[in-house]
Amino acid sequence: MNPLRFYHMNTTGTPSKEPETTKSGRKKIVSTAKGTLTTMAMAILIITSILSLRGLPSEAKFGVQSIFYYVFAAVVFLLPYSLVCAELASTYTKSGGLYRWISEAFGPKWGWTGMFFEWQMIIFWFPTVLMFGAASLAYIFWPESFDQRLASNKIYTLVIALLMYWAATFNSFRGQKSANRLSTMGGLFGTIIPGAILLVLGIIYVCMGKTIELTPQPFLPNFSHLSTIVLAASIFLFYGGMEIQAVHINDMTNPAKQFPKAVFIAIAIIVIVYTLGTLVIGVVIPTENIDLLQSLLLAYNTLWQSFGLGWLGNVMALFIMFGVIGQISALVTGPTTGVMAVGQSGYLPPCLQKINKNGINKPILLLEGFVVSILTLVLLVLPTVESAYQIMSQMSTIIYLILVLMIYGAFIRLRRTQPNKKRGFKVPGGKIGEWIVCGVGIFGALAALVLSYIPPAQITTGSPIIYIGIIVVGVGLFLALPLIVYACRKPSWRNPNAHFYPFDWQIEGRKPSEVSKWAPGYEPSEEEVEEAENNAISSHGKEKV
């Protein structure tokens, strides 16, 4: 997963021109991007939003078997999830993204919960990238033995992680312009260029007949020992993000034909790059010595040293560190945008909706920083930095997969409650295709969800009770938070200046669970939309859906 997608996403769902004013004075957004996105352009968009180098070492522990896991996760997760998100995005084109999809199916309570889960997933992800950033910083120095000891030190990692995060937070108060530039440069120099160098060096290394540490093993893993395949569940998080990228499907000339082709092209390239990158790490580092945070950096050191250019390993660490800074800079403010937009509809108290003169929501950022700081302290109760890194990754994966299951549920229900809704793209195969895609996707998500609660056998995690307890309590607490906030909402929380296009069931005057009576392709009038919005405002805090 490349979480920068959360920063660069278009909050309206589709590119648009300047708002037009209707007779009643309402603002109407008219899309002008239809046909501007080719099949290959969509494939590239998906690729760049998903690829990331940080997680390669966790799969390198599987050696050749990592190929199986990458392909398996692509088939049971990335492919079906991409198709489902594409249909939802091309059907519900008004602003809101996944909030609208889930709310159309189950009501705003669960739509708000889904949006909150996405924000929480990034919050859990933050400590992992901060720990990786601290390790990258350690490898800028010399010699390598010192770098390894420094990167493994919990106090060093904790201090550097908190310093990086809060520096980025305070800097973000100045506005988004500099963060945007920094994140773009970080993506280029911290992911794309280092990724290309890793693959090229690995290929040259093998062709020159250098020592290969990758040991022969069966292609298929041993499924009888679940603890040995836990790390593979993180691949589902690597592949995450289609719920954001799918909104661009409306920019294609013929989505029904173009989008599946784009998905297959993207999946092929993503699997190949991930597989080759993972195998390169396994080629130069023995499986038993692979560390989740340090092995990518060690791989660069080993590769450059084999060519007599060891100092370039430190340069690569500098590049990767720059990429981490770019990600942190973007993501400190990016994920709060969606929560803020939905919160203005009445799901956050006014004190959390305030913005400064630069358009930045400081209260939410400070709250986010407090939570991230508390989560980072898990370093102090787990035996190693590596185990703390893994537990945060697993918690992030669990919350994301719960959100994925909610989206699958919304897709199935909306096929029933709104059968006549115009769909720009439809999952192929009719009813059979629907059940195959959803069945495979739900099975994959549930399997990864269960695995994510198990301590991995490949790393030292200390007491299984403490490890599992942290995950269960942490996930349970964060899953309850959005429901608690929703239960406490008040009509006064709604921002009178915030206008959100009503849900279809609000316009029709029915419950989300009831079947729509609209004729195929029906579009409501401006007056119907305005009346529905007024009714939603007057009933906010009272609705029972």
What are the residue ranges spanned by the domains of the chain?
Answer: 5-492
pLDDT the model gives residue 35: 61
Give pTM, 2 decimals. Answer: 0.84
Q: What is 5-492's CATH superfamily?
A: Amino acid/polyamine transporter I (1.20.1740.10)
Nearest to 148 by CA among 266, 7, 289, 255: 289
Look up residue 380 and give its two tokens: 């102090």
Provide the residue count of the chain.
Answer: 545
Give the highest mean pLDDT range of 20-24, 124-128, 405-409: 405-409
pLDDT the model gives residue 217: 81
pLDDT the model gives residue 27: 42
Q: What is the pLDDT of residues 83-131, one digit of tens each?
A: 999 899 889 888 788 899 999 999 999 999 999 998 888 888 889 889 9
Contacts of 483 (CB under 8 A, 6+ apart): 109, 113
Q: At what angle do helices 154-172 and 144-151 cross, to 10 degrees?
A: 80
Is 18's pLDDT higher than 70?
A: no
Q: In this predicted structure, which of 1-10, 236-245, 346-355, 417-426 has the lowest mean pLDDT?
A: 1-10
Indicate the pLDDT class of residue 285, thresholds 50, 70 and 90: very high
Indicate the pLDDT class of residue 298, thresholds 50, 70 and 90: very high
Tell me the average pLDDT across 182-200.
83
Nearest to 500 by CA among 204, 97, 7, 81: 97
Q: What is the pLDDT of residues 492-510, one digit of tens each?
A: 888 877 778 899 999 999 9
Assign 224 to helix, strand or coil.
coil
Is 21's pLDDT higher than 70?
A: no
Contacts of 268 (CB under 8 A, 6+ apart): none
Cα gap 132→149, rounded to integer Å: 14
Is 26's pLDDT higher than 50?
A: no
pLDDT the model gives residue 315: 93
Is 539's pLDDT higher than 80?
A: no
Q: What is the pLDDT of residues 450-474, one digit of tens each?
A: 999 988 887 877 888 888 999 999 8
CA distances from 124 to 107, 179, 368, 370, 390 (A): 26, 21, 10, 12, 11
pLDDT the model gives residue 177: 67
Look up residue 396 and give its two tokens: 């992030």
- The DSSP secondary-structure symbol of 77 reads I
Indicate the pLDDT class of residue 247, thresholds 50, 70 and 90: low
Tell me the average pLDDT across 309-333.
85
Look up residue 158 and give its two tokens: 């904790």
